[in-house]
Amino acid sequence: MDGGGKQKRKHLCLSIAEKVELLEKLNRGVSVRRLSEEYGVGVSTIYDLSKQKDKLLDFCIESDERRLLKSRKTLDRAKSHDLDRVLKEWIRHRRSESVPLSRETIMSQARRYHDELKIQGSCAYSIGWYQKFQRRNGIKTVKIRGDRGSADHEAAKEFVEEFARIIADEKLSPEQVPEQVCNADETFT
């Protein structure tokens, strides 16, 4: 028996980026049948995706890591949605204050929230947990070195203007400036 002569469709899993692209086309009026053929998925899959539209779009908006959208295929669920939510909000708040956050700092804060939220069960909040948390929430690791996060942008702007004035006053040509100016920071020896 060949099952009625109908060939079974190969299982295909779209990335989040492809799902959003499909939903945008659906929103523009492209037919479900045409999208089904174009993406190689069943009609029911497209209807299921349209039900998840808000969740997918929210994830894309909140994601720091755009390249994850091309490789990630599912919206993984955390064991504790509350922990993910408050930790994500804490990270956003700290970043808005330009506070450098290391993996260890985030893992330590997760442990504190675990206790504060009285989450049942134990969790090691290991590097593996952290990597899954990042992927699940589309969080990018940002490394802030030195005092970059607390830079005085107004003072920097004033310095550029002052420096240009000094170059003009000293009548230095563009060729002379690199030879007569040294860039030094706190570690200069």
Same domain assignment for residues 90 and 59: no
| Pair (88, 41) in one structural domain | no
Structure-model confidence comparison of residues 181 and 170, the more confident one? 170
Q: Quick check: is 10 in a domain? A: no
Secondary structure class of 162 (helix, strand, coil): helix
Domain containing 21: what range?
Answer: 16-71
Residue 176 predicted with pLDDT over 90: no
| Nearest-10 Cα torsion for 17, 19, 23, 26 | 120
pLDDT in the model for residue 180 = 63
Question: Do 107 and 155 reside in the same domain of the chain?
Answer: no
Residue 7 maps to a domain:
no
Average pLDDT over residues 132-151: 66
Q: What is residue 85's predicted lDDT score, i.e. its pLDDT?
A: 86
Residue 33 maps to a domain: yes
- Classify residue 168: in a domain, yes or no: yes
Asked whether residue 189 is domain-assigned, the answer is: no
pLDDT interval class at 18 (50, 70, 90): confident
* Residue that is last in its domain, among 24, 42, 71: 71
- For the whole model, what pTM was predicted? 0.47
Q: Quick one: the chain helix, strand, coil %, rounded to 5?
A: 60, 0, 40
40: left (phi > 0), else alpha (psi -120 to 50), else beta?
left
